[in-house]
Amino acid sequence: MEAPFTMVVLIVIIGVGGGVINNWIKAKRDREAAVGSGEVDSLRREVADLRERVKTLEKIATDSERNLAHEIGRL
């Protein structure tokens, strides 16, 4: 077995492994920061609000014309 070739392979493996571990740590830190800042809760509330709006629009779009006129008049 050639010692220089083995040393080069080990250096490459260590370098690539270090880069992968570094990226994993950064991604983990970013996820924790997003959760800690309340951004996720804010986005969940926004999604819930948008779902309610879509339900209302679906009801208006699929409702008969008579009921639609009645609902608009009631508003």
> Quick check: 1 pLDDT over 60?
no
pLDDT at 46: 94
How many CA atoms within 13 Å lie on the side-chain side of 40? Answer: 8
Query: Does residue 45 sit within a domain?
Result: yes
Q: Give start and end residues of each alpha helix (H) in 37-64.
A: 39-62
The answer to the question of residue 28 being in a domain is: no
Neighbours of 63 (CB within 10 A): 13
Residue 26 lies in a domain: no
Structural domain total, the chain: 1
pLDDT value of residue 53: 93
72 within domain boundaries: yes
pTM beyond 0.95: no
For residue 62, is it within any domain?
yes
In a domain, 20, yes or no: no
Q: What is the mean pLDDT of residues 8-12?
A: 89
- SS3 of the chain: helix, strand, coil, percent, to 5: 90, 0, 10
Domain membership flag for residue 67: yes
- pLDDT tens per residue across span 25-71: 999 888 877 666 677 788 889 999 999 999 988 887 777 666 777 77
Q: Find the radius of gyration of the CA atoms of the chain.
A: 28
Structural domain boundaries enclosing 72: 40-75
